[in-house]
Chains A and B, each alone.
Chain A
């Protein structure tokens, strides 16, 4: 997994709460066996008109947001289905960071598995970033080492992230490899608890 240390990018502001994973990636696209190629279907029903052309009213289709790599959203982002295709689609489209006041738990975990950094900021700070994103484009620097988010105009906030997840992202670590370092302890526990050994 590609390490994440410090990232600067353009912010795409999606001013909606409770964005569920059915919106992020609708179910008809969940039939691939690769993790790649989902970016073209991100927010499909919002991005495209029925005839398949880009919907000019959808925020992320604004020309100045091409290449945006930081998504700014409202409360409870990523709620609903556990589909990991949601962070796959976001990542494939080009997002490396999602900032919101709150995230749904499963989506939050799934982001870390895919090199996407989900950042929880206070509602007031998120409001401020929405204000600063218009007129755009807003550029933010996200520094995982110092755990800060800042812009070029004096905004700077720190964010919290679980120490283990932070280290895994900073070093691009493979979580299965890390866990298997404890294989002895896992086997011992299973034997002690009567779990049949194959």
Chain B
């Protein structure tokens, strides 16, 4: 990577103490985010992608959580940072947009006030100035009639408009990084496309780096530069969009891609699915975590495979040799 990374995650581990034991939600995740890059983190529900995203700004901190490893932003370590210092990072440098825009906005405050609150938590500006800025922000994310809409409550907006409000709020302090945690999952398909276009525009116009958490590979193909595929708390494959879509290396990624409905090929029958269910993170398999569901597992899969290079920047966590993969890949 030629550019200095904006955000560097190194061997991040997050576990939660639950009544049933210790749940290792994130187990040694590492990735870099370059300025202006869109990084997609893909995986099934419960694979640790949201926990990873929320841990970046310390949102998972609690007495029952153990976090180790390192998250650095512009060279500054965030995992050990005090709450006050972390607050300056949140919103100001790294902003977040969440999955369900209905529940992510406080129902009892006007949307304008919720954005004003954020601006005034970080900047010493008058209410009036903050409100003007809010109107600008709502305009920039495509809310019609923003002058009047700042006074509306969240329930008076549609789902897509609420997500625009969330994005406007996230942009309020001109952060360098936007973490979007399944931003389109709760929305209709046509609205999803609008929100993705908005994110792509912001990325291009503002050089905004985006970490896009999603389970939807269609979304990934549309906007991402690089893709990290997660399974059972670990990264199983990491590469450019082209790497992942045109030369996927991990059987799990094959499964994900195989389960996509494709318009460019004749439909031959039922969509493929990955047999079985993800392992419990309370007691994951000791070897390769995907092995129990993998059609290509062999003796070596008893041992945990490392996340390896194929010689370039394309990483995968699988024991199969490159020549074997080329042969068996669907």
The answer to whether A binds B is no
